[in-house]
Amino acid sequence: MDWLLGRKGPSGFSYSSTAEQVTEGIDATGLTAIVTGASSGIGIETARVLALRGAQVIIAVRNVAAGQEVKEGIIKENTSAKLDVMELDLSSMASVRKFASEFISLDLPLNILINNAGIMATPFMLSQDGIELQFATNHLGHFLLTNLLLETMKNTARKCKTEGRIVNVSSYAHTFSYQEGIRFEHINDSSRYTRWGAYGQSKLANILHANELAKHLQEEGVEVTANSLHPGSIVTNLLRYHSFVNAIVLRFGKLVLKNAQQGAATTCYVALHPQVKGVTGKYFSDSNFEKPSNLATNTELTKKLWDFSMGLIN
């Protein structure tokens, strides 16, 4: 009911807070951020607000032309915005490796990595690497990307003496995952596939990834954090594979769902706000701490997913 009443949480923010509101007064000048999937929905707003606060933002997108349009639109509004567009297809490990290599060759610092891109409830398909598409895109592509850019983030944190932040955009839909959480033995089994179960599985994986990564970083004593979040139920094009439902959501959703400005708030809060300094391995919603499902805090499942994912990318 808090969302309906607009009640603020301990952070001072609520369901209806916008990305601009949660970052008001924050100076991100000198920081470099990568935002995946920043050519639509909350990704655009995340990139726009980070740039508004002074960060240099890399728009990492599959469709470079769409990314260029976003860049031009943001610069038209904010002429001092620092934005670059780079190609990244998270469903292809070759594309992820190429992106990471090209970014590293730029010799830029990396303070913030926002793993935002995603697809939702698609028909059963395999990625270019032969892995179920939602798991490949929403989890494994981001897992590999993070792994490849981690040393750059660690080095940046040491040199700049500024905390690095990795932000995984998950979803409340992680609670829709298959009963066992992650179907390790049946990831590519079309006969057992359900669109929403697979989507929930990939979103659960986002949380488990952040949790285990946070543990590794803490053990190393590196000043880089990893957290996950639910952005809220938002009017975006994620439901493009469900034309009837999508039409209803686009027509009536604005009455009850978040807009992009509100949907990007928690991402921007976790990426920039001083209240989150030193906080790691946590799950957020409406710019406040939130308790995820029991599966999302299952340490055995967390470790198994880490090892499974490492096996797939190596």
Q: Which residues are catalytic?
A: 193
Give the number of other Cβ atoms within 10 Å of residue 311's Cβ: 9
134 Cβ contact partners less than 8 Å away, ≥ 6 residues apart: 119, 120, 121, 122, 198, 199, 201, 202
Residue 305 main-chain phi, psi, to 5 deg = -65, -40
Closest CA to 166 of 138, 206, 108, 135: 206
110 Cβ contact partners less than 8 Å away, ≥ 6 residues apart: 32, 33, 34, 103, 149, 152, 153, 156, 164
* DSSP codes of every residue in 5-72: HT---TTS--TT--HHHHTTT---TT-EEEEETTTSHHHHHHHHHHHHTT-EEEEEES-HHHHHHHHH
Q: Which residues pair with 169 in a beta bridge?
A: 229
Count the alpha carbons within 13 Å of 81 in the hemisphere toward its beta carbon. 23
CA distances 258 to 95, 200, 233, Å, are 32, 20, 6
Q: Is 167 helix (H, G, I), strand (E, B) or coil?
A: strand
